[in-house]
């Protein structure tokens, strides 16, 4: 994954946080704790929610453009 510019948007910050958590686990020996897995899962759930909202907003905007064009 390439560098993502930080525009102060929560989605970018969440993706960077997820990357940091995963990289920290990759550079370590030993078992992964339940707490660490829960952190990654919570961040991933928030990312998914943001992406679903963005997709819904895009669909609504597309529908509105079609109505205006018609």
pTM given for the model = 0.76
Average pLDDT in the 50-63 region?
A: 90
Higher pLDDT, 22 or 4: 22
Q: What is the pLDDT of residue 22?
A: 93
Contact status, residue 69 vs residue 37, Cβ threshold 8 Å = no
Is the pLDDT at 1 greater than 60, yes or no?
Answer: no
Alpha-helical runs (H) found in 1-70: 10-26, 34-69
pLDDT at 44: 97
Structure tokens at 11: 């989605």
Residue 28, pLDDT above cutoff 70 = yes
């Amino acid at each position: 994954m390439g560098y993502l510019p930080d525009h102060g948007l929560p989605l970018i910050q969440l993706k960077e946080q997820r990357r940091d958590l995963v990289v920290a686990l990759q550079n370590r020996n030993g078992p992964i704790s339940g707490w660490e897995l829960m952190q990654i899962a919570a961040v991933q759930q928030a990312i998914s929610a943001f992406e679903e909202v963005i997709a819904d907003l895009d669909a609504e905007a597309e529908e509105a453009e079609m109505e205006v064009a018609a």
